[in-house]
Amino acid sequence: MISSFACLPTVEMEQVVYSNDFSDLNLAGFENGRLFVFQNDTVAGFYHNEEVAVSVPNLPAHNYLKVTVDVLIHDSWDGNPNDSIAGPDFWYMGYDNKEVIRTTFSNSPCAPTYCLYQSYPNDYFRNNVPKSGAIQTNLPGLCLFGAFENYTTRYRVSKLIPHSNSTVRIYMGAELLAVNAPIPICDESWSIANIEIVAIQTN
């Protein structure tokens, strides 16, 4: 009898190369960075149809990067509807010139007769119930629904990407439809509560 074992890669090095929860007001390396206080935490934001990025130079030798972002989804995100008025409401993330996540979020209440589904934790297009994959759902809204609980949702988005260059630019952004909103950023916005980039070398 002949047995065979797969040769699985092992981690030789794992190093945090960028970490920021914005508590020290540091926006070094952060493009389009601005800060505000939400629920007693300093976060980056808030943004509407904008893109932000983090550039990290002088990376150690590696063949993967693990990028983890805590993103706050504020107010009336509508998820998947493709009606040119309310949605779809996209959020995306990528590195250098390669997009690795494109998904939708929904803060809408979901009833058996009517539900504005979102794609997350999958890429667009998938129908998942609002707030699927969230790590916190009971936060108040920021602007339009600032007086109401459950209108900011916190997600921890994590992606392992193949990468070996000595520098990287991680970008994030949104493409939101709020045609009927007098102040679109007050209707739908997003913020970043934390971002961490880890360089990994496997054999």
Q: Where are the domains of the chain?
A: 16-186
Q: What are 58's two structure tokens?
A: 């002088």
Looking at the chain, the whole-number percentage of residues with pLDDT higher than 70 is 97
pLDDT of residue 153: 98
Instruction: Provide the pLDDT confidence category of residue 79 given band limits of 50, 70 and 90.
Output: very high
Identity of the residue numbered 73: I
Average pLDDT, integer, range 167-175: 98
Residue 1 has pLDDT above 50, yes or no: no
Residues whose CB is less than 8 angstroms from the CB of residue 70 and which lie 6 or more positions away in sequence, other chains included: 135, 154, 155, 156, 157, 192, 193, 194, 195
| Cis peptide, bond prior to residue 182, ω within 30 of zero | no
The pLDDT of residue 7 is above 90: no
Between strands 98-104 and 136-139, the pairing is: unpaired
Say if residue 199's pLDDT is above 70: yes
pLDDT of residue 142: 98
Quote the percentage of the chain above a pLDDT of 90.
Answer: 89
- The mean pLDDT value of the chain amounts to 95
- The confidence score (pLDDT) of residue 100 equals 98
Q: Give residue-wise pLDDT tens across range 10-21.
A: 999 999 999 999
0.75 exceeded by pTM: yes
Could you identify the residue written with the tokens 């739908």?
A: 188
140: confidence class by pLDDT, cuts 50, 70, 90: very high
